[in-house]
Amino acid sequence: MSPQLKVLLTGSGGQLGQALRASRPEGVELIACGRAELDLADAEACAAAVREHRPDWVLNAGAYTAVDQAEQEPELARVVNAGAPQAFARALAASGGRLLQVSTDFVFNGEQGSPYRPEQAMQPLGVYGSSKAEGEQLARAALPPSDCCVLRTSWVYGPVGRNFCLTMLRLHRLRAEAGQPLAVVADQVGCPTATHTLAAACWAAIAHQASGILHWSDAGAASWYDFAVAIGELGVARGLLQRRAAVLPITTEDYPTPAQRPSYSLLDCSGSRQQLNLPPLHWRAALAEVMATLAGATAEHPA
């Protein structure tokens, strides 16, 4: 990267934001903005941040990610997930900077049964996916093609924040102690993506001055059931759990939620891996690395 590349990061307190801060490359001046510093629901504040800092890149890792709650708060989801990217893009078009917009597999409906390619048409099922799809479109419309990069990812988790991995570790512990099984949906297929590998992809996209649409997830495929089983197994292996709960596969119909989820949302990442020069890491190997991080943190700060 060129010396003192200035990057404005949103969502710096979130799970991806923390991973991006921890892996900041040399030569990057990082302006880290969490909710306290920048309200993504305020389009004028987003534009003002670009005018004030004049970054080379805005890395928009912040978002409204409460998938089910978005069904009750569609306007808030839209202003954060669509209004903020548009505001950043318009301001960057005036200042000459670039945008890296983090997006989601939920822009697809999950009906095709094979990995989605970046160029395929978006068909989101719910408010969250629709708001993210609109954010992609508005950002790309406001910037020259060479100055906007959308990076879609899936099933993000890490050692901090609120995510499926940490929730499952807690539930494994509680259910195992109570002698009760853990029921997890087995008919939704995608790929878990660890925040440390996603952060590496984001920084590589900036280093390569990527544009257009990229797909990034860890390698392989899994259901939520597969993911939950692996979390239990690796949790025991790393000493995070004394024992794991039995995991029972259930269907989506058995676990209704306010928002409909795609039943199959694997992303075709082959072109992105080649463009970013990043080798694939199987999701279970990435999960093992996250578990090692959690085990190290537990050893340093025992409960």
The β-bridge partners of 7 are 30, 57
pLDDT of 104: 98
- For residues 172 and 298, which has the higher predicted lDDT (pLDDT)? 172
Q: Are 104 and 60 in contact (CB under 8 A)?
A: no
pLDDT (0 to 100) of residue 55: 97
Phi-psi region for residue 110, left (φ > 0), alpha (ψ -120 to 50) or beta? left
User: pLDDT class for 299, splitting at 50, 70, 90?
Assistant: low
- Tens-digit pLDDT profile for residues 78-105: 999 999 999 999 999 999 999 999 999 9
- The pLDDT of residue 301 is 56
The helix (H) or strand (E) run that includes residue 99 is: strand 98-104
Query: H/E element holding 16?
Result: helix 15-22
Contact status, residue 73 vs residue 80, Cβ threshold 8 Å? no
Say what the pLDDT of residue 297 is: 76
Q: How confident is the model at residue 303 (pLDDT cuts 50, 70, 90)?
A: very low
Grade residue 4 by pLDDT with cuts at 50, 70 and 90: confident
Cα separation, 32 vs 274, whole angstroms: 29
H/E stretch holding 159 reads none
Q: What pLDDT digit, counting tens, does each position of 31-51 carry?
A: 999 999 999 999 999 999 999
In the chain, the domains with their CATH numbers are 5-155+193-218+267-280 (3.40.50.720)
Summarize pLDDT for 253-269 with one digit per residue, the tens. 999 999 999 999 999 99
Q: Is 15 exposed, middle or buried (0-12, 13-18, 19+ CB in 10 A)?
A: buried
Structure confidence at residue 2 as a pLDDT band (50, 70, 90): very low
**296 in Cβ contact with 288 (< 8 Å):** no
Q: What are the φ and ψ backbone dihedral angles of 299, each rounded to 5 degrees?
A: -65, -35
Task: Calculate the average pLDDT of the chain.
Answer: 95
Q: What is the pLDDT of residues 178-227, one digit of tens each?
A: 999 999 999 999 999 999 999 999 999 999 999 999 999 999 999 999 99
State the catalytic residues. 128
The predicted structure's pLDDT at residue 172: 98
Helix (H, G, I), strand (E, B) or coil at 108: coil
**What does each C-alpha distance from 239 to 176, 197, 227, 297, 299 come to in angstroms?**
14, 23, 18, 12, 10
% of the chain beyond a pLDDT of 90: 95
pLDDT at residue 23 tops 60:
yes
pLDDT tens digits, one per residue of 140-185? 999 999 999 999 999 999 999 999 999 999 999 999 999 999 999 9
Number of C-beta neighbours around residue 91 at 10 A: 24
Q: Is the Cβ–Cβ distance between 245 and 172 less than 8 Å?
A: yes
